[in-house]
A and B are shown apart, each in its own frame.
Chain A
Amino acid sequence: MFEDVPLIDTHAHVMYSDPDADDSRQRGLDAAYVEAADVLGIDILVVSCPMVRKPTTPEIFRHANSLVIDAMQKWPGRIWLTTYINPGWTREAIAEIQRTAELEDMVAIKLLWDYNCSDPVCFPVIEKAIELDKIIIIHQAHHTNMLFNRRHFDVDAADVVAVANRYPEAKIIADHIGGGGDWEWTIKTLAEAPNVLQEISGSNFDENIVDMQLQYLGADRMVFACDCSMSSSMGKFRALQAGTEDKKKIAGGNFLRLCGRL
């Protein structure tokens, strides 16, 4: 899309399968993801594997990260790692962050909904990410439909802001503005935390969703992502009424800056 800046999907996934299970369908979906990225001109996929059986034990999150590492070997240079851990297993989670951080292309850690990110149980892994200068990517959504999925409802932008205020030196990305929920509420809440960026992924492409993000957060605090919603996310990136320089920042420039690779 841009000659001097790669297009980076900062929220991509490989599919989980148990170690002894037939994983052909999951690996087929992984290939379909890369194929979709090829079609859309996405250069780099920042991949995690957090959609696993809950509660997530250390064995499970270590295996999940190994699946991403396998994909890194299958598509070399194309895939960067977001290490997923369950912060409830403090020692094991920190050890896993340390283990995976030895990989050159491990760039972030992922906090899903195993615990609310503002829960003190998460602080040691957040501090480890800060120590290693890694990005912290936090699932969030402000669902107004309590019937939809209680777990998703448990973490929203206010929790992300609480973490950001406690750790102003942290590099934080809040997940998917289009991942469901009241996106106007989310954007207005995140605007108060200058060390939080937000990515644009998700199936929701309501008119104005990314333009309001731009208005409140600014181009320096937005990053491109798909989270499996491929043409929805690329479509709203194309729809965004921003100049070329701002789009380059969102496409990849901001993420490279966070990684120290710009």
Chain B
Amino acid sequence: MIVDCNAYIGHYAFRRLHYNTGDGILQLMDRAGIDRACVSSAGAIMYRNSQAGNEELLEEIEPHRDRLIPFAVLNPTYAAWERDITWCKSVLGAKGLRLYPSYHMYKLSDFCCSEMIEAATELGMMISIPVRAEDSRQRHWLVQAPDVPLNDIAALVAGHPNARFIVLEGLGFRGSDLVRKADELPHNYWIEMSRPDPLFDKELQFVKDALGAERLVFGTGICFKYPEPALLRMKVLQATEDEKADIYAGNMLRLLGE
């Protein structure tokens, strides 16, 4: 079984996405052999009112709840996020949040972010943090949204030991506190593997060996990205079959409480 913890549907403000509907992403998942995917709204990244994106997401996933697992995008600086998070849990059925501090103009260390993480944790939701929505080298000329520093995420996970975090779209783990200071941090964060390569610079292999296979989760970044590179990374990663099964699905299913 393959569970993709890093998937998106909807419109992105700066580039046409294909396969970006509920039906469309299933086509892409079938092509790649992905059974289930954690999806959030791509539109919500740039909407002022992210909740509208979550409402769009509900319409798209409703016929496909057996395969599409909703994650909500919320902005802790925006009005009524407290009400919205309750709706996301009870109506959308969101299993977690996705945070975009660079796009929503706050820092992970801000009090409002801390409040929202505590509220999500109370509701049993995990927190996923995409380090980037897209490669900053192609950013739209109107947008200045730097990648989220991995060390900021390390400080966040240390400050919220009861919360559960997934780091999406990360790279450069070797020099980050998430790996260098892993022994000092609570074991409350998991690394999604779509960007680091197990070959040549062998970063993915390094992360797996440093943190253990139980701390990696499979992700692709569809439909922003092709799924095939992540699948190839898994194929060539040096790990036992049991470890690969955990990365492909087991670890994420445990996080989902299944």
Contacts and interface: CB of A to CB of B under 8 A. Distances in A.
Contact of B201 (A141, A228, A236, A238): A228
Nearest to B237: A231
Contacts of A204: 135, 137-138
The B contact surface, by secondary structure, is loop
**Interface range on chain B (Cβ under 8 Å from partner):** 20 to 34
A244 interface: no
Nearest to B233: A231
A132 interface: no
A181 interface: yes
Nearest to A185: B138
A176 to B, nearest CB: 11
A143 B199 contact: no
Nearest to B146: A147
Interface stretch (A32-40, A110-118, A158-166): A32-40
Interface string B126-150: 0000000011111111000000000
Interface in A193-208: 203-208
A26 to B, nearest CB: 13
Contacts of A141: 137
A188 B227 CA distance: 24
A145 B223 contact: no
Interface string A19-44: 00000000001001101100110000
Given A184-B15, A207-B225, A238-B232, A144 B197 contact: no
Contacts of A239: 226-229
Nearest to A152: B137
Contacts of B166: none
A207 B18 contact: yes
A235 B228 contact: yes
A236 B224 contact: no
Interface in A215-234: 228-232, 234
A101 to B, nearest CB: 29
Contacts of B141: 144
Interface string B57-85: 00000000000000000000000000000
Interface string A135-151: 00000010111001000
A231 B140 contact: no
A214 B105 CA distance: 38
A235 B200 contact: no
Contacts of B135: 180, 203-204, 206
A53 to B, nearest CB: 21
A203 B16 CA distance: 20
B8 to A, nearest CB: 10
B138 A180 contact: yes
Contacts of B200: 29, 32-33, 36, 228, 230
14 contacts: A40-B236, A143-B138, A144-B139, A144-B140, A181-B138, A205-B228, A206-B226, A208-B16, A229-B197, A230-B200, A231-B229, A234-B229, A235-B228, A239-B228
List the 5 shortest-distance A-B pairs measured between CB atoms, nearest first: A235-B229, A180-B137, A36-B199, A239-B226, A239-B228
